[in-house]
Amino acid sequence: MKHIFLISLFLYLAVGVLCQPLSTKSLKAKTYYQDAIASMSIVQKEMYLKAAIKKDKNFVEAYWQLAQLYINYKKDSVGIALLQDIVANPKNIRLAESQIKLAEQLYLIGNYKDAIQETLKIMDPVFYKQKTDLLTIFNEANRLRNHPVPFEPRLLWKVSTPFDDYFPSITANEEIISTTVLVKSSPESKEKGQEDIYWSFNDGNDFGLSRPLGTSMNTDGNEGSQSFSSDGRYMFFVACDRKENIGSCDIYYAIRQGDKWSLPINAGKPLNSEYWESNPVLSVSGDELFFTSNRPPCLGGKDIWHCKVQITDNGLLNFSQPENVGIPINTAKNDYAPFIHFDNQTLYFCSNGHLGLGRGDVFMSLRINGIFQTPVNLGYPINTHRDEFGFVINAKGDKAYFASENQNSKLHDLDIYEVPLYEAIRPMPMSCFSGTILDEITEKPLQAKVEMFNQIDGKISYHSISDRTTGNFSAVLPESTQYGLLIQKNGYVFISDTINASIDTLKTFYLHPIVKGAKTTLKNIFFAFNSYNLEQKSYSEITHLCLFLNANPLVSIKIVGHTDNIGSTSYNKTLSEMRAQAVRQALIDKGIDKERVLSEGLGSSNPIAPNDTNDGRSKNRRVEFIIL
């Protein structure tokens, strides 16, 4: 049975044991050893390996395997003692490799000083490069340990279950947190268990008890490694060994309408492959998906990949051919569990290939001009010699949620923690904006396309669709930043608006059907003071209006300019006419038939706000279009 959870992400730096002849000459010992390798039972593996060692006290590989068996099942002291015994054995014919394995395991339990000392004892010149590499790794771990970072984790005891909980995900508004849970018949059971998706809701004070997501998502197989889109409308997750799967574990998604989720949808090719895919996370803009895969070409065991995403009118998603994120993120080992923050430029991920403190550490990398920079270890004790992974950050960038071994639990199971982030590893702070889209005539909720864009270059920072049941949508924007908003639906006049993330938090929008007399204000049209020359940032809006007219070839419009009451009546009327003509000409220059676009200037004769304040005068200086 395939698992989503990356159980075997331990660091193995030593030479494999299968590429060389076994060190024993005892046929019986070899037989026991081979039986242990072939066995699926932990108890039988232990029994056969002990029998092999009993037959040959100098059987090096049997010591290695038995030690690793104990360490894998958290009997560290027993495993270390076995490795120390074989290192001290004067008849050990593979001494340097045994020393390397002992040093590795000391490193993996956080005993960095002893790991360094054991490595320094390696004298075989054949292993000089490995010795040097190990010392680099162990010395960096020791340095990180000796320079701790601020760290005050809080156990989310209601979110955490009696089982292993990992891969947390959180919505931008922090209303929902979801986890993958390794469910067993009992917490103490040695069975492999089954992975299911759980979720918990914030009641305003804290998260409530975590519970299974439901049978539409969870089955008898493994589901997990889930994540939400920034608006909570999409959930991505991984399911293994389903009949419709392309590979062993595939990426699925579901769409939320009101309080219900659609049936799971297999993302299909090219996102999924014949290999293993996991850890999907959608960017805040909704147009890029990051995930983990072992598909070729891989730099190591598992790499981080990404692809482009398009949302169709009905909410279904199309995925482009994935690309390996490459160096410096991916290494020759395992790099996994990506989380792209809501700022769309800070990537957090887990790796045992970059210099760290043990097994899987959390790293961050900034994306500058589209290029990821050298990853930075988040430091000790956020990272330890144990596994830390599934690191996600809230929109404000001041808190993180992650899974780690609970040292206060007798089972040392994985639980979910919340921790304030120290300044150096915080992403850009973001704000949540929420809107509701209604039909202007019926006031019923509408499902419509929503885009937020940079007014300077027109680059999309967010795109999604509103909830069909409620009309709601939410977007995450940089604090104190102004963005253009575009709402579109077939058969309706589009809405244009400007959103200031530091002021605007909640707004209702009314879409008007395309009928004669329907009008909308082009709120992203800008002119210099007392000028009719269009500013550069107006051309995104011109493009939107052009696309609307191309999509509705039977529609003709009139562009209407308005001013405030500063200046003479005749001057304002002329200025408004020239501004309306400038917009008309821009449309004609983009290929719109001039017969479909009229223009008119009404000056200050039709105010929509009092002219006695700056805000009111700003609202009155506007350009509208009316359906003719």
Burial of 203 (0-12, 13-18, 19+ CB in 10 A): exposed
Confidence category of residue 409, pLDDT binned at 50, 70, 90: low
Say if residue 499 is in the same domain as residue 551.
no
Coil vs helix vs strand at 351: strand
Query: Domain for residue 463, yes or no?
Result: yes
CB-CB neighbours of 121 under 10 Å? 13
Query: Domain for residue 351, yes or no?
Result: yes
CATH number (domain holding residue 611): 3.30.1330.60
pLDDT of 219 reads 87
pLDDT of 476 reads 87
Coil vs helix vs strand at 194: strand
| Token couple for 125 | 């010149």
Domain closes at, from 425, 447, 466: 425
Say if residue 305 is in the same domain as residue 335.
yes
Residue 529 has pLDDT above 90, yes or no: no
Pairwise CA distance, residues 585 & 81, whole Å: 83
Residue 112 has pLDDT above 80, yes or no: yes
Give the tens place of pLDDT for each residue, 150-200. 999 999 999 999 999 999 999 888 889 999 999 998 888 878 889 999 999
Calculate what percentage of the chain has a pLDDT beyond 90: 75
pLDDT of 142 reads 97
Domain closes at, from 372, 402, 425: 425
Give the tens place of pLDDT for each residue, 36-77. 999 989 999 999 999 999 999 999 999 999 999 998 888 999
pLDDT of 410 reads 62
Say if residue 416 is in the same domain as residue 438.
no
Query: Domain for residue 15, yes or no?
Result: no
Give the Å distances, CA to CA, from 431 to 119, 173, 320, 394, 400. 50, 9, 29, 10, 16
Pairwise CA distance, residues 522 & 506, whole Å: 20
Q: Is the dihedral of CA 133, 138, 139, 143 positive or negative?
A: positive
Strands (DSSP E) along 272-394, which ranges? 277-282, 288-293, 303-311, 317-319, 323-324, 335-340, 346-351, 361-368, 371-372, 376-377, 389-393
CB-based contacts of 409, cutoff 8 Å, min separation 6? 415
Give the Å distances, CA to CA, from 122 to 86, 108, 134, 149. 14, 18, 11, 33
Residue 11 has pLDDT above 60, yes or no: no
Coil vs helix vs strand at 407: coil
Indicate the DSSP class of residue 51.
H
Residue 13 has pLDDT above 60, yes or no: no
Q: Which residue has the tokens 């270890």?
A: 377
Tell me which residue of 320, 387, 323 sits closest to 10, measured CA to CA: 387
Domain closes at, from 513, 531, 555: 513
Our measurement of the distance from residue 61's CA atom to the centroid of its chain's CA atoms, rounded to an integer in Å, reads 41
Backbone angles phi and psi of 530, in degrees to 5 = 55, 30
Q: What is the largest CA-CA distance in the chain?
A: 108
Say if residue 434 is in the same domain as residue 403.
no
Q: What average pLDDT does the structure give for the chain?
A: 91
What mean pLDDT is predicted for residues 525-539?
Answer: 91
Tell me which residue of 500, 442, 446 sits closest to 472, measured CA to CA: 446
CB-based contacts of 334, cutoff 8 Å, min separation 6? 6, 9, 300, 301, 302, 351, 352, 353, 360
pLDDT of 5 reads 52
Residue 16 has pLDDT above 70, yes or no: no
Confidence category of residue 6, pLDDT binned at 50, 70, 90: very low
297 upstream amide cis, omega within 30 of 0: yes
Tell me which residue of 512, 514, 540, 372 sits closest to 443, measured CA to CA: 512
Say if residue 32 is in the same domain as residue 75.
yes
Q: What does R_g of the chain's alpha carbons equal in angstroms?
A: 30
Asked whether 405 and 155 are in contact (CB, 8 A), the reply is no
Q: What domain count does the chain have?
A: 4
Residue 7 has pLDDT above 90, yes or no: no
Residue 487 has pLDDT above 90, yes or no: yes
Give the tens place of pLDDT for each residue, 124-138. 999 999 999 999 999
Residue 443 has pLDDT above 90, yes or no: yes
Query: Domain for residue 10, yes or no?
Result: no
pLDDT of 255 reads 92
Give the Å distances, CA to CA, from 574 to 185, 531, 582, 600, 602. 79, 11, 12, 10, 9
What mean pLDDT is predicted for residues 265-275?
Answer: 97
Asked whether 390 and 168 are in contact (CB, 8 A), the reply is yes
Query: Domain for residue 323, yes or no?
Result: yes
Calculate what percentage of the chain has a pLDDT beyond 70: 96
Query: Domain for residue 21, yes or no?
Result: no
Say if residue 488 is in the same domain as residue 522.
no
Tell me which residue of 282, 397, 272 sits closest to 343, measured CA to CA: 397
| Token couple for 493 | 């006049």
Query: Domain for residue 472, yes or no?
Result: yes
Say if residue 504 is in the same domain as residue 534.
no
Residue 10 has pLDDT above 60, yes or no: no
pLDDT of 329 reads 97
Backbone angles phi and psi of 618, in degrees to 5 = -65, -40
Pairwise CA distance, residues 287 & 181, whole Å: 28
Say if residue 317 is in the same domain as residue 211.
yes
CB-based contacts of 9, cutoff 8 Å, min separation 6? 334, 336, 352, 359, 360, 387
Asked whether 139 and 147 are in contact (CB, 8 A), the reply is no
Residue 8 has pLDDT above 50, yes or no: no
pLDDT of 20 reads 73
Reduce the secondary structure of 100-154 to three states and give it as a string.
HHHHHHHHHCCCHHHHHHHHHCCCCHHHHHHHHHHHHHHHHHHHHHHCCCCCCCE
Backbone angles phi and psi of 392, in degrees to 5 = -125, 155
Query: Domain for residue 7, yes or no?
Result: no
Domain that holds residue 94: 27-146
pLDDT of 407 reads 64
CATH number (domain holding residue 140): 1.25.40.10
CATH number (domain holding residue 170): 2.120.10.30
CATH number (domain holding residue 436): 2.60.40.1120
pLDDT of 432 reads 86
Say if residue 349 is in the same domain as residue 456.
no
Give the tens place of pLDDT for each residue, 454-484. 877 778 888 888 998 999 998 888 876 788 9
Say if residue 37 is in the same domain as residue 136.
yes
pLDDT of 411 reads 62
Query: What pTM did the predictor assign?
Result: 0.82
Say if residue 520 is in the same domain as residue 371.
no
Q: Which residues on neighbouring strands pair with residue 180, listed in sequence order?
A: 166, 197
| Token couple for 548 | 């609307």
Say if residue 78 is in the same domain as residue 205.
no
CB-CB neighbours of 136 under 10 Å? 11
